[in-house]
Amino acid sequence: MSENPFKIIEPREEVPATMKKEVMGSVRAVVLILRFVQLFVGDFTNAFIDNFKTNKPKSK
C-alpha cells in the first residue's frame, strides 16, 4: 500500500524571529482594525445578510 498522503508534515526549520514578529504585528493590526470597525457597526453580519434576503418586507 502507498504512503498516507494526508499525514501531518513536521517542519524541520524554525521560523526566523524577525519574520515571526512581522507576521504577528500584521495580525495584531488586523485585529485592531476589526475591533475599531465593530465600535461603529453594531452587527455587520446582520447588515450583510439583509442584502441577500429574497423576501424583504415592503415599506409603506
Q: Taking the domains of the chain in order of start, what are their residue ranges?
A: 23-49
C-alpha atoms less than 13 angstroms from C-alpha of 53 in its C-beta half-sphere: 10
Structure confidence at residue 56 (pLDDT): 65
**Phi and psi dihedrals of 42, rounded to 5?**
-60, -60
Q: What's this model's pTM, rounded to 2 decimal places?
A: 0.46
Burial group, residue 33, by CB count within 10 angstroms (0-12, 13-18, 19+): exposed
Q: How far apart are CA 25 and CA 34, in angstroms?
A: 14
Nine-digit cell at 57? 418586507
Structure confidence at residue 53 (pLDDT): 67
Q: How far apart are CA 37 and CA 48, in angstroms?
A: 14
Structure confidence at residue 1 (pLDDT): 60
Q: pLDDT per residue over 1-60, tens digit each? A: 678 878 887 878 888 888 989 999 999 998 888 888 788 776 666 666 666 766 666 666
Structure confidence at residue 39 (pLDDT): 80
